[in-house]
């Protein structure tokens, strides 16, 4: 997906949320089978979160990041 297309995704997601009349929502995009991508093309989900029990729930085993690895990643991201 070209970067210039990505720049348009969040404004469109906000417009979808506004059209749905929701203030709280998640934007989800899965890449690859292990990440639960079901169809072989790029697409985004706008998932309303009306309360604590409905909508997307997120739960994975959280681990503390290694500060040195984060510094290394940050240096690799500087283009």
Catalytic site residue from 36, 41, 43, 45: 43
Q: What is the pLDDT of residues 15-69, one digit of tens each?
A: 999 999 999 999 999 989 998 899 888 889 999 999 999 999 988 888 899 999 9
Active-site residue flag, 45: no
Question: Long-range CB contacts (< 8 A, 24+ apart) of 42-47?
Answer: 42/1, 44/9, 44/13, 46/13, 46/16, 46/17, 46/20
Q: Model-level pTM?
A: 0.73
């Amino acid at each position: 997906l070209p970067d210039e297309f990505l720049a348009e995704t969040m404004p469109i997601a906000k417009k979808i949320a506004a059209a749905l009349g929701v203030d709280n929502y998640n934007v989800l995009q899965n890449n690859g089978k292990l990440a639960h991508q079901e169809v072989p093309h790029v697409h985004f989900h706008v998932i309303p979160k009306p309360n604590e029990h409905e909508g997307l729930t997120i739960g994975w085993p959280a681990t503390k990041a290694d500060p040195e690895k984060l510094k290394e990643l940050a240096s690799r991201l500087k283009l």
